[in-house]
A and B are shown apart, each in its own frame.
Chain A
Amino acid sequence: MLEIIDVHAGYGRTSVLYGVSIPGSAKVVAVLGHNGAGKSTLLRATIGLVRPTHGTVLFDGEDVTQLAPHRRVQRGMAYVAQGQQSFGQLTTMENLQLVADGRSNGRAKIAEMLERFPALAQFATRKAGLLSGGQRQQLAIARALITEPKLLILDEPTEGIQPTIVAEIEATIMDLAEGGLSVLLVEQHIGFALEAAEKYVVLASGRVTQTGFGGRASLGAVRDAMVI
């Protein structure tokens, strides 16, 4: 589904990733690492918000490295950014309509999301900027799912969210992964990430320092690999 080959990327003259590769054999891949390791940059390069200076992003066998993010979304990639991002001046419903517009099953997908996340139905007419962090994260995930993705890219989906909603979000991710959706996950909560992932990749200073199978990973070894 997704294959990342020798990607180098950064911001202006500052390089962040140095030849990162993720083979495309696993359905759910977790990317682990300390702050500043390059995890978010890797996800941004995958969805197209950062253009790699070198390397290739393959999706469904197609080279999408030069495609704009919205073209990647059309091809089946969805991205949930770090920090519970929503369009704060749009209502909850407008946030959902934005991605449902132009889809023949848009209304049905919105209804499905309101059923999956009842808080969103409750605050459908409220501006998204006035929702709590957890509700905004649910909205961000709902927006991504309306596009009926083949691959869901999640950047720290549980960061800064109250524990009860963290459990809900983790359950949703597990449910989606079990339903066959491919997931590329960056997560600080290592225990959950390893439980959810078939494979994991550890990044440190923009380089892959360890890869392995999620279920068999030792927490200690993973933590050691996070530090160069």
Chain B
Amino acid sequence: MDALIAPLLNGSAAGALLLLAALGLTLTFGQMGVINMAHGDFIMAGAFIAYLTQLVITSSNISIPVALPLAFLGAGLLGLLLEVGIIQWMYKRPLDTLLVTVGVSLILQQIALQIFPAQGVPVEKPSWLDGQLDVLGYEWPLRQVFTIVLAILCVTALAAWLRYTSFGRRIRATVQNRDLAETSGVNTRTVDRITFFVGSGLAGVAGVAASLIGGTNSQMGTRYIIPAFLVVVAGGIGQIKGTVIAAWGVGVSLAFFADWTTGSMAQVLTFVLVVVFLQFRPQGLFTVRTRGLT
């Protein structure tokens, strides 16, 4: 039983972290169509914000809850800066956006390398995450449970924001038909900026969670960016429920394959699975159904 429970729970936590990393992309890539390769570096920024917060507030019991909104704001502002400074001139030019954001990603990594040690910095986890939860005899680390709870909170908040608020309606309308949204009185430029801010801010939150699980260094974003894009595509572009299922699937598959083979082989096998899945279902898990064109 342990052979199943352990990878299932560990994989669910890995999937939750992947989901946090991919959630922002469902907005910036899924909803706005921007291939932002610097998204992984916003995750890094969030992790470093967790570290910096800990320098000011030494008790990690308090600093981590404080770091979450700070990381959201910090990464969100970086995203906003990127949108206003570069991306706004490149909508509908995906290849240019990809190349430019790779450049931005390298710049952000170099800046981090100039400020922080190359080997990374320690982010101390709060003492309330020290314990384990007994699940059918398996001692499940609380920091993994925390990642899952954080992912659930972020998904719920994002889904509710998109579904029930007037701003969410404006985002969904702009995504579906920008011209029609403009002529319905929606300022689509403001929508672009706020969407990018929130999408990037979610990467910051992912960074805080990542800092509690893995190392915090200038390269950490590169670990998440490709799996996060795969998750968004496999879930069905712009579909939150698809992203949730795909992230969980990828996380659990990584954990099971890692149990049977090695960590790097698990990544290869999982990505092969996703690619095969996309061969048969290129539109991803969920798609949009309409009778009209828009």
Interface residues of A (CB under 8 A from B): 47-49, 68-70, 73-74, 78-79, 81, 83-90, 94, 97-99, 101-102, 127-133, 136, 143, 147
B279: interface (CB < 8 Å): no
Instruction: Specify which of A73, A78, A86, A147 is in contact with B292 (CB 8 Å cutoff).
Output: A86
Is B292 a contact of A128 with CB atoms below 8 Å? yes
Closest Cβ of chain B to A149, distance in Å, is 10
Decide: A90 near B172, CB < 8 A? Known: A73-B185, A79-B183, A81-B179: yes
Report B-chain residues with C-beta under 8 Å of the C-beta of A132. Answer: 291
Closest Cβ of chain B to A102, distance in Å, is 7
Tell me the nearest residue of chain B to A97, going by C-beta. Answer: B169
Closest Cβ of chain B to A123, distance in Å, is 12
Decide: A68 near B176, CB < 8 A? Known: A85-B294, A89-B288, A97-B166: no
Interface residues of B (CB under 8 A from A): 166, 169-170, 172-173, 176-177, 179-189, 288-294
Report B-chain residues with C-beta under 8 Å of the C-beta of A101. Answer: 166, 169-170
- Chosen A-B contacts, 21 in total, with CB atoms closer than 8 Å, are A47-B183, A48-B182, A69-B182, A69-B183, A70-B183, A74-B185, A83-B293, A85-B177, A87-B173, A87-B176, A88-B288, A89-B176, A89-B288, A90-B173, A101-B170, A102-B166, A127-B290, A129-B294, A130-B290, A131-B291, A133-B292
Is B294 a contact of A86 with CB atoms below 8 Å? yes
Report A-chain residues with C-beta under 8 Å of the C-beta of B180. Answer: 81, 85-87
Tell me the nearest residue of chain A to B288, going by C-beta. Answer: A89
Is A70 a contact of B188 with CB atoms below 8 Å? yes
Q: How many pairs, one residue from A and one from B, have CB atoms within 8 Å of each other in the complex?
A: 95
- Give the distance in Å from the alpha carbon of A127 to the alpha carbon of B186 in the complex: 20
Is A68 a contact of B187 with CB atoms below 8 Å? yes
Closest Cβ of chain A to B75, distance in Å, is 28
Q: Counting chain A CB atoms within 10 Å of each CB, which of B170, B176, B181, B189 scores highest?
A: B176
Is A130 a contact of B291 with CB atoms below 8 Å? yes
Is A90 a contact of B169 with CB atoms below 8 Å? yes
- Give the distance in Å from the alpha carbon of A80 to the alpha carbon of B99 in the complex: 38
Instruction: Specify which of B182, B187, B290 is in contact with A89 (CB 8 Å cutoff).
Output: B290
Closest Cβ of chain B to A66, distance in Å, is 14
Decide: A49 near B294, CB < 8 A? Known: A90-B172, A102-B166, A143-B184: no
Instruction: Specify which of A48, A70, A94, A129 is in contact with B291 (CB 8 Å cutoff).
Output: A129
Closest Cβ of chain A to B283, distance in Å, is 15
Report B-chain residues with C-beta under 8 Å of the C-beta of A87. Answer: 172-173, 176-177, 180-181, 294
Report B-chain residues with C-beta under 8 Å of the C-beta of A84. Answer: 292
Report A-chain residues with C-beta under 8 Å of the C-beta of B181. Answer: 87, 98
- Give the distance in Å from the alpha carbon of A178 to the alpha carbon of B84 in the complex: 46
Tell me the nearest residue of chain B to A106, going by C-beta. Answer: B166
- Give the distance in Å from the alpha carbon of A89 to the alpha carbon of B189 in the complex: 21
Report B-chain residues with C-beta under 8 Å of the C-beta of A143. Answer: 184
Is A49 a contact of B179 with CB atoms below 8 Å? yes
Q: 5 tightest A-B contacts by CB?
A: A129-B290, A88-B290, A69-B182, A101-B166, A73-B185
Report A-chain residues with C-beta under 8 Å of the C-beta of B184. Answer: 70, 73, 98-99, 143, 147
Q: Counting chain B CB atoms within 10 Å of each CB, which of A74, A84, A89, A131 scores highest?
A: A89
Closest Cβ of chain B to A107, distance in Å, is 13
Instruction: Specify which of A70, A83, A90, A94 is in contact with B185 (CB 8 Å cutoff).
Output: A70
Report B-chain residues with C-beta under 8 Å of the C-beta of A94. Answer: 169, 172
Q: Counting chain B CB atoms within 10 Å of each CB, which of A74, A88, A94, A128 scores highest?
A: A88
- Give the distance in Å from the alpha carbon of A192 to the alpha carbon of B83 in the complex: 47
Closest Cβ of chain A to B125, distance in Å, is 41
Report B-chain residues with C-beta under 8 Å of the C-beta of A68. Answer: 182, 187, 189
Q: Counting chain B CB atoms within 10 Å of each CB, which of A70, A90, A128 scores highest?
A: A70
Is A136 a contact of B186 with CB atoms below 8 Å? no
- Give the distance in Å from the alpha carbon of A129 to the alpha carbon of B292 in the complex: 5
Is B185 a contact of A131 with CB atoms below 8 Å? no
- Give the distance in Å from the alpha carbon of A41 to the alpha carbon of B139 in the complex: 67
Is B291 a contact of A98 with CB atoms below 8 Å? no
Report A-chain residues with C-beta under 8 Å of the C-beta of B294. Answer: 85-88, 129
